[in-house]
Structure 1
Amino acid sequence: MTTAVGRNDLCPCMSGKKYKHCCSSRENMIKEIGLPVFSEDYVLQMLLQDSDKFINFYKNERHKISTKINWAFDERLNSRMKSIGLENPDTKEIEYVVIIKQVPIQFAHAFDTAHELQHLILNQEGFPSLSYINNTNNTNINWISGMKDLACRISNSITDPLVNARLVKYDFDLWDNYDRVAKAQMPYLQSIKNIFPNEPSQMEGRAFIASAFIQAVLDWEAACRISPNANNNYIKNLRSMFPVTTKETEDILALIKTHGYASPDQASIIFYNIIQKFGLGRLFRLSNLNI
Structure 2
Amino acid sequence: MATVSIEKKSSQLTPKMNLQRWTLLVILCISAVLFIAPFIIMVINAFKSPADYSANGPLSFPKELYVDGLRSFWDRVQFGGKLWNSIWTSGIVAVLAVLLSLLNSYALGIGRIKGRLSIVALILLANMLPQEVLIYPLFTMANTLGLNNSPWSIVIIFTVIQSAFGTYLLASVMGTFPIALLEAARLDGASRWRILWQVVYPIVKPTMAVLMIFFFIWTWNEFFIPLVMLTTNDSQTVPIALASLQGDRMLDVPTLNAGALVSLLPTLIFFLIFQRTLTRGVTAGAVK
Q: TM-score, normalised by structure 1?
A: 0.22
1 or 2, which has the higher strand percentage? 1
Question: Larger relative contact order (C-alpha < 8 A, sep ≥ 6)?
Answer: 2
Higher gyration radius (CA): 2
Q: TM-score, normalised by structure 2?
A: 0.22
